[in-house]
Structure 1
Amino acid sequence: MRVPSQRFGNMMIQTLRASNQKISHLMLQMDSGRRILKPSDDPIGGVRLLLLEREAAVLNQYRGNIGTLSIRLQQNESHLDSLLKSVMSTQDLMLAAADGSTTSADLNALAGTLESLKETLVQGTGVKDSEGNYLFSGTLTSTSPLQYDPSAPAGSRYSYAGNNGQQHVVVGHDVTLAANTSLEHMAELVNHLDAALEALKAPGANANDPATRALIDASLGSLTNGVNHLSAQIARLGGAQNTLDLLDQSHEAMLVSNGEAANMVGQLDYAKAYDEMSNYMVAVQGTYKVYGRVAQLSLFDIL
């Protein structure tokens, strides 16, 4: 008669199953390098890891927004710089036209060059990005910023069709930066230039004529305002770029810090895990030996 009963066998099976489950779990931990694979491994540590992962996701989103916005601002700054150079060239020629000693023929010649520059200014204001969106229409990116009415008299043919709305991009906790630029003042600048050109193109144009002089002066005033406005916009974009660089560096440092914290909380101690696995394997082997020995015993052996 054998000693082991069904109850004893079930107990041995449960013991072996529990040990094998521990070994399997340790193997998964060693394979992943992570100590916490499920909440029950370390409830408090699991919560900390979850919070760190969420914060890392937010920081990565901020960095993604910063990268996209930085490209957009660089693009805007480049176009504004080109536009500023064209405005300054126009200003120089208009100053030459304002010289009372300039002959009528020279004024007509200057008007031709200024006409080309005017078209450059109009095109520069209505520039689009690679997706076909207007850069300088405020939030109305599908609308050309300058509308032209050929039936209107010179000085009122151009109107600003955009708005002054801003598209804000989140680049940090409670930190947003404007992604777009509006150039409402360009309509006035181009209108004053257009009116002055009508006078300069006329046969017998005379810069000393009071009406012509008034148109030239008005255009020079708008051009000066244009230089100031564009310079301020470029400076603002440069400042925004500096802010983005600092924020990106800060977010990168936080991600490194969070990664180190996550490693401290969830990284597996391989030496400790190996020791535990060795202990469980020894226990399993011992259990099999005990079960085998007990299974061979009978009541006669005991007696």
Structure 2
Amino acid sequence: MRVSSNQYLSTMQLAMQTSNSALAELLQRMSSGDRLLAPSDDPIASVRLLRLQREEAALDQYQQNIGALSSALSKNESILDSISLDIRDAKDLLTAAANNPPVDDLKAMATPLRSLRESLFYSANTKDAEGRYMFSGSKPAVAALAYDAAQPAGSRYSFTGNTDKQQVVVGDGITQASNVTLENMADILNQLDKTIGRLEDPALDNKDPTVAADIRSAMNASDKALEGISSKIAQLGGTQNIMKTLALNHDNVSLSNKQTMTKLGSLDYADAFIQMNGYTMALQASQKAYGRVSQLSLFDVI
């Protein structure tokens, strides 16, 4: 069969273009390190990679949420520890007051109790870095506790937040509360306020049974508040442990995903190097063959 010069030229150009294109695509893969440059290169692997990438994005968001949540819980725990210490100090003073000391000693106890009352009120209304009240439930713009000086002693403090929980997504279908509420703090503040008023009364009588009753009521309120705060601190500690375990699980899943993504999407450089040599040799051979054949004529075979 006779092959015209034009046909031969077209065939050789197509062969060299194909080799050049394959070599350029391979070099692009080697440059990027990606086995797949387009979904059509391996549709099944591309779909799996997309799913893994979506899962990785979700895991990354979960880890960020866990980090922010752990930070918030640690701050809550620190403040609750401070509140717990203030309540214990108040309980020690009230215990001493319950032992019927001299009137002057009773009156002297009013000053540290007043300081502790103010410290408890301030701590309960702590704000975060963004100016939101930390212990007001789902009402961060409202102070957890309010004070009304117009009310009589024993009812001036009130809880103005709510007990709703602010949930944070930390896993697939898993949420965790990021806040703590102090709905029981108003009671101890009112009892301390009432007792302080008694101790500051110029006509204070250490033998008056109503004075002893107020002190006992404040002690009972302190015990109840301390029990509630201790319970919340224990819950925060348990939650922190859960968050650490969950973060570790997310890390393990993420590591497995990344290993799978590497197998599916990363280029095998050893195999790519062999292919590159093959394409280069084929291209060089085509060029040499074309050069030699293009120099031939019918006179060479006569």
Question: Normalising by the residue count of structure 1, what TM-score does the alignment of the two structures yield?
Answer: 0.94
**Mean Cα deviation higher: 289-298 or 71-80:** 289-298
2:83 maps to which residue? 83
Per the alignment, residue 210 of structure 2 pairs with 211
Deviation at 1:13, TM superposition (A): 2.1
Does residue 68 (structure 1) correspond to residue 68 (structure 2)? The answer is: yes
Secondary structure at the residue paired with 2:169? strand
Residue 299 of structure 1 deviates from its aligned partner by 4.3
Matched length: 301
- Structure 1 residues 192 and 157: CA distance shift in structure 2, 3 A: same
Deviation at 1:302, TM superposition (A): 5.8
1:272, 1:146 → 2: CA distance?
69
2-structure distance, mates of 1:151, 1:141: 25
Could you list the per-position Cα deviations for residues 16-55 of structure 1 after superposition, in whole angstroms to 9, with x for gaps in the alignment?
Answer: 2221111111111112222122212221112222222221
- Say yes or no: does 1:56 pair with 2:59: no
Question: Once the 2 structures are TM-superposed, how far is the Cα of residue 14 of structure 1 from its aligned partner?
Answer: 2.1
Deviations 1:71-115 (A, max 9, x none): 111111001000000011101111111223x12111111111111
SS at match of 1:279: helix
Residues 69 and 169 of structure 1 are in contact (CA less than 8 Å); yes or no, is this contact kept in structure 2?
Answer: yes
Supply the distance in 1 between the matched residues of 2:118 and 2:179 (Cα, whole angstroms).
Answer: 23
Task: Find the counterpart in structure 2 of residue 13 from structure 1.
Answer: 13
Question: Is 1:119 aligned to residue 118 of structure 2?
Answer: yes
Match of 1:266 in 2: 265
Contact 1:3 1:294 in 2 (8 A): no
Equivalent residues in 2 for 1:258-297 (5 A)? 258-297=257-296
For 1:124-181, what per-residue CA distance to the aligned partner results, in whole angstroms no more than 9, with x for missing partners?
Answer: 1111122211111112112111111111111111111111111111111211111011
- Give the residue type in structure 1 aligned to 2:202: P
Describe the SS at the equivalent of 1:152.
coil
Matching residue of 2:150:
151
* Bigger mean CA deviation after superposition, 80-89 or 5-14: 5-14
* Residue identity opposite 1:188 in structure 2: D
- Take 2:160 and 2:15, find their aligned partners in 1: how far apart are those partners? 79
One-letter identity of the residue aligned with 1:64? Q
Q: How far apart are the structure 1 equivalents of 2:205 and 2:12?
A: 114
Q: Which moved more, 1:83-92 or 1:165-174?
A: 165-174
Q: Which residue of 2 aligns with 1:160?
A: 159
Q: Give how far 1:8 is off.
A: 3.1
Alignment of 1:23-38 (within 5 A): 23-38=23-38
Residues 120-199 of structure 1 correspond to what in structure 2 (within 5 A)?
Answer: 120-199=119-198
Residue 95 (structure 2) aligns with: 95
* Post-superposition CA distance 1:242-294 (Å, at most 9, x none): 00111111111111111211222222221211111111111111212222233
User: C-alpha root-mean-square deviation of aligned residues, in Å?
Assistant: 1.7
- Tell me which amino acid in the other structure corresponds to 1:60: D
Structure 1 residues 198-277: aligned runs within 5 Å: 198-277=197-276
SS at match of 2:175: strand
Structure 1 residue ranges without an equivalent (≥5): none
CA distance in 2, matches of 1:198, 1:178: 38
Q: 1:76 to 1:145 in 2, by over 3 A?
A: same
CA contact 1:166–1:178 (8 Å) conserved in 2: yes
Q: Which secondary structure does the structure 2 equivalent of 1:262 belong to?
A: helix
Q: RCO higher in 1 or 2 (8 Å CA, sep ≥ 6)? A: 1
Shift of 1:9: 2.3
Q: Give the 3-state SS of the residue equivalent to 2:168 in structure 1.
A: strand
Paired residues of 1:104 and 1:204 also in contact (CA < 8 A): no
Q: Which amino acid aligns with 2:168?
A: V
The 1:286/1:108 distance shift into structure 2, 3 A limit, reads: same
* SS of structure 1 residue aligned to 2:170: strand
- Structure 2 equivalent of residue 298 of structure 1: 297
String of CA shifts for 1:180-216, please: whole Å, max 9, x gaps: 1110111111011111111111123234423223322
